[in-house]
């Protein structure tokens, strides 16, 4: 029996950005076309995060 | 382009829906499976797309171990996907072993006293303010991090990553221990006079998917 993860709480943008753009498995090399300038994007997205912003309700 | 959300042990991967409402499909090579959407353009990192990526990974996280990709990983062909899996199988298997049965919980400290400091008038003032902020952050981290790390298989933390954030930490916690962890974090948060704790998760193990740098 599979047991999926359920998140009860809201997702804040700052926590989402930290993980999605700063974490995860990273593939580098010629065969990869990762989104260019992710680090720069991360910096500019952070500049927009003035306070805790809720992106979505967490409950599934 | 092929967009890759996660890599893990082969699961049934029941038709999840991904970016742009497109289907999520498995690409298996040996003992590992990548979960992808084919024929899609590289997405830009807007909040909706970030959330969609995370929701796909969340829906795939069942009892089998899974590692989320960083947002924005696109490859050209299925052969490229298989090559990545093949090249990194042993390392990925080791990482999967470390996260199996565990989830990530995030703890972010924010200052209780949010008053903006008056702008520093001299270089000396600026540096002193910076040092004060850093000392305060270190006190928060010392109170919080070791206690929570004891409840986790692994822990990562970052001191004062931004002026308004004394601590950002991630903890890899056994699923069955999450409720206890969250209760302890809530209790710690109430005790600390200088900062409150914002707990997030459970998350897929984003902060534990790559080896930590020293």
pLDDT, tens digit, 9 for 90 and up, residues B150-209: 999 999 999 999 999 999 999 999 999 999 999 999 999 998 889 999 999 999 999 999
- Of the candidates A9, A3, A13, A12, the one whose C-alpha atom is nearest the C-alpha of residue A58 is A9
pLDDT tens, position by position, B184-193: 999 999 988 8
Residue of B9, B47, B91, B186 for testing the chain A interface, max A β-carbons within 10 Å: B47
Using a CB-CB cut-off of 8 Å, the residues of chain B touching A60 are 58
pTM for the model stands at 0.87
**Omega cis (within 30) before B32:** no
Mind listing the pLDDT tens digit for each residue in B61-102? 987 899 999 999 999 999 999 999 999 999 999 999 999 999
CA distance B14 to B12: 6
Nearest 10 degrees: Cα torsion B19, B20, B22, B25 = -10
Pairing of strands A54-56, B32-37: unpaired
Set of chain A residues whose Cβ sits within 8 Å of the Cβ of B27: none
Q: What is the ipTM of this complex?
A: 0.90
Q: Residue A39: in which H helix or E strand, if any? A: helix A38-48
Which value, to the nearest 10 degrees, does the dihedral of the CA atoms of residues B197, B69, B211, A19 take? Answer: -20
Whether residues A31 and B80 touch (CB distance < 8 A) is answered with: yes
Res A42: pLDDT: 52
Using DSSP's 3-state secondary structure scheme, residue B44 falls into coil
pLDDT digit string, tens, across residues A14-59? 999 999 999 999 987 655 555 544 554 555 555 555 444 555 544 3
pLDDT, tens digit, 9 for 90 and up, residues B105-159:
999 999 998 666 777 788 898 899 999 999 999 999 999 999 999 999 999 999 9
Residue A53 pLDDT: 54
CA distance B108 to B194: 13
Answer yes or no: are the C-beta atoms of B45 and A41 closer than 8 Å. yes
Range list of H helices, chain B: 47-60, 78-99, 123-149, 178-191
Rounded-to-integer distance, Cα B59 and Cα A60, Å: 10
Are the Cβ atoms of B73 and A34 closer than 8 angstroms? yes
Of B50, B183, B153, B51, whose CA–CA distance to A56 is shortest? B51
Angstrom distance (rounded) from CA B194 to CA B141 = 11
Q: Which residues of B touch A19 (CB under 8 A)?
A: 54, 68, 104, 106, 203, 206-207
The answer, for A49 touching chain B at a CB cutoff of 8 Å, is: no
């Amino acid at each position: 029996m599979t047991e999926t993860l359920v998140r009860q709480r809201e997702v804040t943008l700052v926590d989402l950005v930290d993980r999605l753009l700063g974490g995860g498995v990273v593939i580098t090399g010629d065969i990869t076309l990762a989104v260019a300038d992710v680090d720069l994007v991360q910096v500019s997205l952070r500049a927009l995060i003035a306070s805790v912003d809720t992106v979505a309700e967490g409950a599934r | 382009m092929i967009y890759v959300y996660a890599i893990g042990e082969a699961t049934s991967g029941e038709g999840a829906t991904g970016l742009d409402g497109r289907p999520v499909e498995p690409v298996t090579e040996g003992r590992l499976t990548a979960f992808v959407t084919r024929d899609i353009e590289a997405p830009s990192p807007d909040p909706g797309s970030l959330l969609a990526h995370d929701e796909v990974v969340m829906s795939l996280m069942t009892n089998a171990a899974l590692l989320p990709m960083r947002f924005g990983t696109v490859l050209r062909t299925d052969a490229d996907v298989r090559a990545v899996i093949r090249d990194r199988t042993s390392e990925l298997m080791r990482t999967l072993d470390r996260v199996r049965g565990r989830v990530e919980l995030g703890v972010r400290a924010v200052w209780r006293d949010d008053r903006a400091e008056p702008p520093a008038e001299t270089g000396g003032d600026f540096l002193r303010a910076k040092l004060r902020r850093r000392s305060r952050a270190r006190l928060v981290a010392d109170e919080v991090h070791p206690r929570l790390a004891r409840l986790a298989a692994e822990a990562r933390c970052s001191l004062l990553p931004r002026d308004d954030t004394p601590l950002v930490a991630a903890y890899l916690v056994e699923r069955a221990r999450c409720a206890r962890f969250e209760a302890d974090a809530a209790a710690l948060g109430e005790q600390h006079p200088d900062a409150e704790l914002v707990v997030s998760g459970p998350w897929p193990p984003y902060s534990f998917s790559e080896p930590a740098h020293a």
